[in-house]
Amino acid sequence: MEGIPVTVAEVHRILVGDRPPETREEDAALVRGYRDAMSFVLRRADDAAFSWDRELFVGLHDRIMAGNYGDGAGRLRTGPAYIVDNRSSELVFQPPPPEDVPRLVDAACTVMQRGFEHPAIAAAWVHIAIAAIHPFKDGNGRASRVAASLAMYRGGFKLPEFTSLEEWWGRHLVEYYASFACLGKVFDAESDVTTFLRTHMEAQLHQIRAFDLRERIQQKIWIAVEEAVTAAGLEPRVANAVWDVFFGRSVTPRYYFSLADVSSATVTNDLAAAVAAGFLRSEGRARSRRYEAGENLYSRIGTALGIQVNEGGASARGIIIGELTKRAQADGS
């Protein structure tokens, strides 16, 4: 959402230590930083001595920014902040002056410490409170959304569909940024943020429904992948590589090594067997080698699911997912 130029496939590789050569190290560091921040949230959420305080936010921010001192990681801002529309260069919102930031962060923590009627309300409130205070030089959006996830974790909601709204907001950016209009043009601690709270909770409800549907579809695809791999005489672990390429994500030997936890020789043999069976196709040489969907992949998965597929690539994947979606919506299974 912050414009970090990495794809989902690249994120998968970065998080197992296989940074794609086309990805800048500073971008990969931010991906790892966000992962570390969410891991930190999980650890802190169950602490019996937990409290909402300024140092909690500073620690979260330091992880989000991957410890980048030049970008102000782990420090409250000491200069002014301006929220500007990138398209028109128009000033959209003026956060409070830096001298007020420590006091406002402490006040927000006091509100969070008192608690709310439901964790979803707490998550929405801390999200807009931190976004409005804009306590850091950079990374305020990420900090506010991670804090919202923490509020859900603290309330006992720990499944991804209940906690992080990153994916949903990423697909609804116009709606997301419009929801902050209730703050007005200049920071006001008395602003009525009811409309943001409502939008936030509605987004959460929509995401839960969307995740539920997607999980049911993906479960059917995973079973079909396992069946197709086994029917072809391949080792069951090869399903891990086939699963990724089914969704259009490249698989490298190093990435597969992290998934399968086998020797390098076994990695080579497994991938070669998957190529021979038509599940994968190899591109590149030596260290740049990667594997994409093979010519028989989608037809084999379609057969396992009882879906006729006569096309390849993204079109075939779309046919399979579309048919499974129709089935799930029709019978609720």
Q: How many CB atoms lie within 10 A of CB 170?
A: 10
Look at the block and give the residue holding tokens 């070669």. Answer: 272
The CATH number of the structural domain formed by 214-331 is: 1.10.10.10
Instruction: Give the pair of three-digit tokens for residue 245.
Output: 């390429």
Amino acid sitting at position 6:
V
Q: Looking at residue 138, what is its pLDDT?
A: 92
d(CA 214, CA 123) in angstroms, rounded, equals 24
Q: Looking at residue 69, what is its pLDDT?
A: 87
C-alpha to C-alpha distances, 127 to 86, 149, 271, 289, nearest whole angstrom: 22, 9, 44, 42
d(CA 195, CA 199) in angstroms, rounded, equals 6
d(CA 87, CA 292) in angstroms, rounded, equals 37
Q: Looking at residue 29, what is its pLDDT?
A: 82
Residue ranges covered by each domain of the chain: 8-192, 214-331
Q: Which CATH architecture has domain 8-192?
A: Orthogonal Bundle (1.10)
Instruction: Give the pair of three-digit tokens for residue 148.
Output: 């919202």
Q: Looking at residue 238, what is its pLDDT?
A: 96
Taking the chain (333 residues) in consecutive chunks of 10 residues, what is each chunk's mean pLDDT? 68 77 81 83 85 94 89 93 84 95 97 94 96 95 92 83 74 88 95 95 87 89 96 95 93 90 93 96 86 92 90 83 89 63
